[in-house]
Amino acid sequence: MNRPSNKIIILLVIAILVVGGAFFFKNFDWTKIRNPFASKTETQNQNLQVLAENEINKDSDQDGLKDWEEKLWKTDPSSSDTDKDGTSDGEEVKEGRDPKLAGPNDKISKDAAIQKIIQSSETENLNPTEKLSREFLAQYLGTNPSGGTLTDAEKNALIGNLTAESITPFTYKRHSASELKVLPDGSAETIRAYGNILGKIIVLNTKIKLESETTILQSALAGEDKEKLKELDPIIARYTTIVSQGMKISVPPTAAELHIHFMNALTDLAESASRMKVVFEDPLTTLKSLSAYSEAETELTTSIADLQDYFSKNGVVFNKNEYGYTFRPTQ
């Protein structure tokens, strides 16, 4: 079995994820948390989902088969009758016929087709996306609903089941407090010094404004522009540098766990952004990383708020001339 094109793999997995209800990004009120790492727009998540949904529903030749279904059957999405036998591709599929083979003697042997898919999956070196698409096609062909073809509801149910089984967020390696140099002194002066050192690392590494990861990913998918994904590199480098420098500083004993939560949130964002870069080769890996990305954003938001609260509760109020001012409480 020939390997499907990268674009079709992308659209198929996006279809699986959106229909399955797992393709989303949580919205946060970034006006309440002064996050120096990303600039979000309220419509960004909606736009990315609309893009995916438009691709799912596209039927370029109006033959009853979505474009991504045409690629499963290896038919021509720009021709309503691939085999030129007078019956549209969609009608042939409904009738249990092969839309690539002129009729009338073109009945599909589902068992043979499924066996071929299984054998090719076992012998080929497939990435997670390719494995999922093969599994979907095998189940798609193997379903025997009344009327001989899948309804939209049945397709959605099948896709949803595969989503639940296959789309799980990544779990990345976590830092622990045991890696930190913990100071014996937890005085207000020590806490203030810690806040200024950590604030300096953040400020010096976030001077340049960068697009958010999801904006870059959306633009790359919309324009089929792999080069656009290179814009993720400075974002990944930013997260990685802050973590590298942040893990080397001395931390008050009362701030150790808060500091680790902050470092782990940034580490997870860096790991997730790295996996976004493979969207054109292995979109399933990218889409799985988006769940981890969303969770990391939540952790980052919480960790910043916790650090702000920590300084406030310890009577540390930074003035505008201090680097620690980035952690000032906000209304």
Query: Token digits for 238?
Result: 């930013």
H or E element that contains 74: none
- Residue 168: is its pLDDT beyond 80? no
Burial 198-221 (b: 16+ CB within 10 A, else e): bbbbbeebbeeebbbbbbbbbbbb
Q: How confident is the model at residue 157 (pLDDT cuts 50, 70, 90)?
A: low
The winner for highest mean pLDDT among 121-125, 159-163, 255-259, 290-294 is 255-259
- Residue 6: is its pLDDT beyond 50? no
Farthest-apart Cα atoms in the chain, separation: 86
Q: 151: alpha, beta or left, given left = phi > 0 and alpha = psi -120 to 50?
A: beta
More confident residue, 54 or 63: 63
pLDDT given at position 23:
32
SS3 state at 322: coil
- Residue 24: is its pLDDT beyond 60? no
Question: Among all chains, which residue has been given the structure tokens 């991504």?
Answer: 68
Q: Mean pLDDT for the chain? A: 76
pLDDT given at position 294:
80
- pLDDT tens-digit profile of 262-300? 999 999 999 999 988 987 777 767 777 877 888 888 899
The β-bridge partners of 57 are none
- pLDDT tens-digit profile of 61-104? 999 887 767 766 778 889 999 999 999 988 887 777 888 888 77
* Dihedral angle computed from the Cα positions of residues 238, 243, 248 and 253, in that order, rounded to the nearest 10 degrees: 140
pTM for the model stands at 0.66
- pLDDT tens-digit profile of 176-215? 999 999 999 999 999 999 999 999 999 999 888 888 888 8
Query: Can you tell me the distance from the alpha carbon of 317 to that of 251, in angstroms, rounded to the nearest whole number?
Result: 18
The backbone torsions φ and ψ at residue 187, rounded to the nearest 5 degrees and listed phi first, read: -75, 165
Burial 39-49 (b: 16+ CB within 10 A, else e): ebeeebbeebb
